[in-house]
Amino acid sequence: MIYVAAGLVLATLVVMASGRVDPLLALLVALILAAILGIAPASQLAAGLSNAGVITVAAMLVIAKGIVQTGVVSRATWALLASTSTAQRCSGAFRFLSAWRRR
């Protein structure tokens, strides 16, 4: 049964990495298949979704998608690039921002 579970996890990761299927759909199909195949009881499969770490990661993915969709990243990048006249100045600005971000 462990090989079936490992195969299911590997197949799910491959499908998610391919980008042809929505990751949420791939995960839901994997959960349903795990329940049908008897890898774990349905109650244990669903219990993992209430973990604080899973909820935090899901919330961060939603926030990141929203930031990208609204164009905030593009506007900030263009504003940063427009304020510099040379590539050396631009790389200096990026170094400053990355050092400031680590604090």
Determine, yes or no, domain membership for 41: yes
Domain that holds residue 7: 1-50
33 inside domain: yes
Task: Supply the mean pLDDT for the chain.
Answer: 82
**pLDDT interval class at 5 (50, 70, 90):** very high
As for how many domains the chain has, the answer is 1
pLDDT tens, position by position, 39-58:
988 888 888 878 888 889 88
| 58 occurs within a structural domain | no
For residue 22, tell me if it sits in a domain.
Answer: yes
**pLDDT of res. 100:** 52
What pTM was computed for the model? 0.55
Q: Is 6 within the bounds of a domain? A: yes
pLDDT tens, position by position, 18-47: 988 888 899 899 999 999 999 988 888 888
Percent of the chain with pLDDT over 70: 81
Question: 95 with 84: CB under 8 angstroms?
Answer: no
Q: What is the dihedral of CA 16, 22, 25, 30, to 10 degrees?
A: -10
Q: Within a domain: residue 7?
A: yes
Structural domain contains residue 88: no
- Residue 103 makes CB contacts below 8 A (sequence gap 6+) with none
